[in-house]
Structure 1
């Protein structure tokens, strides 16, 4: 029996999967009942996805919209709760439809239990969706 990855290890592994455009592999890091929340989601965008299948449906076309080249700035902070981390990070690449640069800063609060993501609150910049061609993941 292998020891599950720590939350920080799991998160970094997930970033490597996203860079490889391995969305199914990234989704496999989720608990069947995991919840993905977007507290700053603009009107018309999902605020909460419940369950691995909802996360998979949401992320399925991610590489068709955003070609992420790197996560150059990733800082993971351990909280007083061992299962929960706070991540400050930046993703860079290009928006596929417009071939324009993509540069987004995120803060995420992630909880991992038994080696799987159970909660992920993604505090991304909603102002980015007001930029031309920025409909990069999927509005409702």
Structure 2
């Protein structure tokens, strides 16, 4: 899925502009496993969400692994499992973060992305 490849490329670069441009103007980003259960609606709000997150997250992503696509009965919906590798800044402690994303596509853009991140592992990275 080319759209997912572009999404991961923008994540690896920590490009809030690149990520936001992948969403429809009314796009929706939800993170149900985060404590705040964040739901961000609208391309500009999504841009701000990523910009704010990347500015405070001391992480550098280096590669992706174990990518598995699961297609649904709806051709505009895919479920993708993957892991991101990287290291923390400034300590350079390596990590692997696991994700499951449900991506809804409309006219070649993301209309909704549900991001199920392994937040317990993320907490371990920052608190150990």
Note the C-alpha offset of 1:19: 2.2
Equivalent position of 1:55 in the other structure: 46
CA drift of 1:17 comes to: 2.5
Over residues 88-115 of structure 1, what are the superposed CA-to-partner deviations in whole Å (9 max), with x where a residue is unaligned?
Answer: 0000101225432221111110001011
Contact 2:97 2:122 in 1 (8 A): no
Secondary structure in 1 matching 2:17:
helix
SS at match of 2:2: helix
Aligned mates of 2:73, 2:34 — CA distance in 1: 27
TM-score (norm 1): 0.79
Q: Does the C-alpha gap of structure 1 residues 100 and 29 become closer, same or farther in structure 2, counting only changes over 3 Å?
A: same
CA distance in 2, matches of 1:71, 1:110: 17
Most deviating of 16-25 and 107-116: 16-25
Residue 133 of structure 1 corresponds to which residue in structure 2? Answer: 126
Structure 1 gaps, min length 5 = 1-7, 135-140
For the 8 Å contact 1:97–1:133, the answer to whether it is kept is: no
2:19 to 20, 26, 38: 26
Give the alignment partner of residue 80 of structure 2, picking from 73, 80, 87: 87
**In the TM superposition, what are the counterparts of 1:95-110 in structure 2 within 5 Å?**
95-110=88-103
| More RCO (CA 8 Å, sep 6+) | 1
Point out the more displaced range, 108-117 or 71-80.
Answer: 71-80
Q: Structure 1 or 2: larger helix share?
A: 2
Extract structure 1 runs of 4+ deviating beyond 4 A: none
How many angstroms apart in 2 are the aligned matches of 1:112 and 1:105?
Answer: 22
Gaps of 5+ in 2: none
TM normalised by structure 2 equals 0.85
| Correspondence 1:13 to 2:6 | yes
